[in-house]
Amino acid sequence: MTITLHAWTPSDKPALMALCNAVDRTFLSDRLPYPYTEADADWWLGMVAESEGKEGVWRSVCADGDLVGSISVERKDCDENEGCCEGREGDGCEGVYAGLIFA
């Protein structure tokens, strides 16, 4: 099996919709809508395109060319109750959130 990461593009919309509608939601927050519609995919792909390199990095995860997940590292405003990262101010980790979704 070959695993590759790719920048998201508008042509990924059908595969993104299929992935998000098939994912096991047992351990996911309510941030991922169900059913995952074309409008949801358009919004998310647009947000990624606008935010890429400024607010984070988002990549599709493919296994043998098939979309199987998404991975991101995002800048995030955290408070002490969120626990998005452990560390001290200035150590390079504050305000970073890593997200991973796989079907």
Q: What single-letter DSSP state applies at residue 61?
A: E
Structurally, the chain folds into a number of domains equal to 1
- Alpha-carbon dihedral sign for residues 46, 47, 51, 56: negative
Residue 103 pLDDT exceeds 50: no
Q: How far is CA 45 from the centre of its chain?
A: 10
Residue 7 makes CB contacts below 8 A (sequence gap 6+) with: 52, 58, 59, 60
CA atoms within 13 Å, Cβ hemisphere of 81: 0
Does this model's pTM top 0.85? My answer is no
Do 59 and 74 touch, CB atoms closer than 8 A?
Answer: no
What does the pLDDT look like over 46-98, one tens digit per residue? 999 999 988 889 999 999 999 998 888 887 766 554 445 444 444 444 444 45
Structural domain boundaries enclosing 87: 3-102
